[in-house]
Amino acid sequence: MSNDFHLIASFKVRPGQEATAIEALKLCAPLSRAEAGCHSYVPHQDLADPTQFYFIEHWASQQDLDEHMQSPHFKAMMATLEPILAAPLAIVTQINPVI
């Protein structure tokens, strides 16, 4: 049985801070994709509300996700995002395909 899973995480920035958020994502995403256990790591921006961002991720295990969240590049991204957040980063749900 596999332990891999997908997750959706979200965060919202204050208006006018979208470009700062995107730059932080551009730095973190490629390093995250290169991590052991990362099958997919794709940041998204909401079309209707450009201050709203989502991550859609696929990890081999919870341990891999936990290690990602302790990585220097994730911590650097969060250090950039935290001062501009309108709502904190939150894991919305963990999901798996049914077929």
List, for residues 37-78, the tens digit of each pLDDT value: 999 999 999 999 999 999 999 999 999 999 999 999 999 999
Answer positive or negative: Cα dihedral of 9, 62, 28, 33. negative
- Where along the chain do its domains lie? 5-95
More confident residue, 92 or 36: 36
With 0.85 as the threshold, say if the pTM is over it: yes
Diameter of the chain by CA atoms? Answer: 45
CATH number for 5-95: choose from 3.20.20.70, 3.30.70.100, 3.30.200.20, 1.10.10.60. Answer: 3.30.70.100
Let me know: does 11 contact 44? Beta carbons within 8 Å.
Answer: no
pLDDT band of residue 16 (cuts 50, 70, 90) is: very high
Which of 1-10, 26-35, 45-54, 69-78 is the least confident region? 1-10
Tokens 């990585």 appear where?
71
Structure token pair of residue 50: 């450009």
